[in-house]
Amino acid sequence: MSSDTPLTVAVVGTGPSGFYAVEHLLKRSPGIQVDLFDRLPTPFGLVRGGVAPDHQKIKSVTRVYEKIAATPGVRFFGNVQVGRDLSRAELLGHYHAVIYAFGAQSDRALGIPGEELPGSHAATEFVGWYNGHPDYRDCRFDLGAERVAVIGMGNVAVDVVRVLARTAEELHGTDIAGHALDALRESRVRHIYMIGRRGPVQGAFTHPELKELGEMTDADIEVRPGDLALDPASAAALARGEDKGVERNIETLRAFAGRPPTGKRKVIHLRFQLSPLDLQGAGRVERMVLGHNRLVATPSGDVRAEATGATEVLPVDLVFRSVGYFGTGLPEVPFDQRRGIIPNEQGRVVTAPGVPATGEYVVGWIKRGPSGVIGTNKPDAVESADRLLEDAAAGHLLAPAAPGREGIGPLLARRGIRVVTWADWQRLDQMEQGRGKALGRPRLKFTSIPEMLTALDGA
Ligand code: NAP
């Protein structure tokens, strides 16, 4: 592109992967013009709506994103939903390239009887609710429950367990949504069961997250020593010493197993080699049937759970399934229903193997699936951005008709869309922090889109 026709790129979604793609494009191609679209008036994706509120330090990564958004040539179009307010075809008609960065917006189901009973929820809903995501603010969770099960051994399950185990005073010092703080203050939860279908060596949690579960102010941790007796395949995997994180996890679990209870108000029970088979109850969840598993080595060297046929019944009043996020598509954009991702080759969207869609790229969870921590998105986004730049150099991008990206603002205005600009977001951010300060909290989030727009424009 010449200097009088700078490269213009639209990014759909403003979580970490989108920002890392823009950061790389700006570094490699100064002068590039980028429009960031988000269906919410607020940016930052799962850093705002997913990262647990008691992990405030992790959220400071947004300072990096703020710098990117403040770069000349970068604009924010908040409150604009691609697929509703703007079509894919319109994006392709106004920019040289489009990067899809909208993450995985749904969750995996267990597919067991009783999963739809009241009292059974996706962990992703609970996470969105306690983080004040507008889609989930009206969810209701019966925190009058004393016994709660969280299915899954990943970091989302750990987050949910920790938020349930925290004291109201601890939560007050976080940016947890006001409605969630009020509800959790009244919580009667006493027993929190975190249930894994495989063994401790296969736990998907990272070590700092596991360790933190043993450091709760008002919750003891219980691990059954018998659960740490490793099957031959897991013992061999551990002995190979290839994964320091797993070694540390096992050490920590052994230390947990040796701890006597100290009489704290709540207990976190970690249970392994159990698969939920059935959620039962009269009109709501009252118990869960769990199948016992043995672990068997697979030919590929992995370890899988196999039912032994033995079962047990665990009385529980509330269940969160935390078995992974799952991607959903955008109208007209190629989508792999089975994997929940946009099919791509190194970040180039493809319509069939080896057939790239001109000018379309993908990054983050909607590219590779819902795995990895925030930092994982950096190399992932760099790969896609490099492919985009290679295509730009080869003249293989889209050719937007005049006025190009300058036509987008007027188009949205004609449709009556109240675009939330970066300056607007900065005002919302200040207001949220101010509301929080008045309560001795870091932030009090706005949790509905109308509430945010009213705060900006008045009633
Ligand atoms: P995850 O790490 O993929 O964990 C999913 C868990 O669900 C695994 O323990 C898995 O067990 C289990 N599972 C899957 N299907 C199941 C089934 N049918 N029945 C029983 N259990 C089943 O997913 P996640 O916890 O949603 O996290 C997503 C990503 O975000 C991860 O990369 C995570 O590290 C990251 N994250 C990081 C943080 C942090 O850094 N603090 C916080 C939150 C999330 P198997 O292993 O047996 O499949």
Answer yes or no: do 137 and 267 share one domain: yes
pLDDT at 4: 62
pLDDT at 301: 83
Answer yes or no: do 42 and 92 share one domain: yes
- Distance of alpha carbon 76 from alpha carbon 408, whole angstroms: 12
- Specify if 63 maps to a domain: yes
Answer yes or no: do 355 and 310 share one domain: no
Answer yes or no: do 135 and 282 share one domain: yes
Nearest C-alpha neighbor of 291 from the set 268, 279, 273 = 273
- Distance of alpha carbon 459 from alpha carbon 445, whole angstroms: 18
Answer yes or no: do 336 and 321 share one domain: no
Q: Which domain holds residue 220?
A: 108-325
Residue at which a domain ends, from 297, 325, 353: 325
Cβ(279)–Cβ(285) below 8 Å: yes
CA 316 to each of CA 184, 194, 385: distance values in angstroms, whole numbers, following the listed order: 18, 12, 47
Answer yes or no: do 304 and 333 share one domain: no
Cβ(38)–Cβ(59) below 8 Å: no
- Specify if 354 maps to a domain: yes
Answer yes or no: do 20 and 61 share one domain: yes
Residue type for 248, please?
R
Number of domains in the chain: 2
User: What CATH number did the domain enclosing 352 receive?
Assistant: 3.40.50.720
Mutate which of 127, 160, 161, 197 for ligand 1? The one with the most ligand atoms within 8 Å of its CB, which is 197
Answer yes or no: do 379 and 269 share one domain: no
Task: Provide φ and ψ at 50, rounded to 5°.
Answer: -125, -50
- Distance of alpha carbon 192 from alpha carbon 19, whole angstroms: 36
Residue at which a domain ends, from 325, 345, 374: 325
- Distance of alpha carbon 221 from alpha carbon 281, whole angstroms: 27
Nearest protein CA to atom 25 of ligand 1, as residue: 154
103 CB under 6 A from ligand 1? no
As given in the structure block, the two tokens for residue 63 are: 């300072």
Which atom of ligand 1 lies nearest, measured to the CA of 111? 18
pLDDT at 376: 97
- Distance of alpha carbon 74 from alpha carbon 11, whole angstroms: 10
Answer yes or no: do 405 and 391 share one domain: yes
Residue at which a domain ends, from 325, 356, 374: 325
H or E segment at 297?
strand 287-297
Q: 10 Å Cβ neighbour count for 295?
A: 20
- Specify if 431 maps to a domain: no
- Specify if 451 maps to a domain: no
Answer yes or no: do 178 and 310 share one domain: yes
Stretches in the chain below the pLDDT threshold 50: 2-3
Nearest protein CA to atom 9 of ligand 1, as residue: 153
CA 287 to each of CA 147, 297, 312, 317: distance values in angstroms, whole numbers, following the listed order: 10, 31, 10, 7
- Specify if 352 maps to a domain: yes
- Specify if 429 maps to a domain: no
Answer yes or no: do 153 and 246 share one domain: yes
pLDDT at 153: 98
152 CB under 6 A from ligand 1? yes
Ligand 1 centre distance from Cα of residue 205 (Å) = 7
Answer yes or no: do 248 and 313 share one domain: yes
Nearest protein CA to atom 21 of ligand 1, as residue: 152
- Specify if 384 maps to a domain: yes
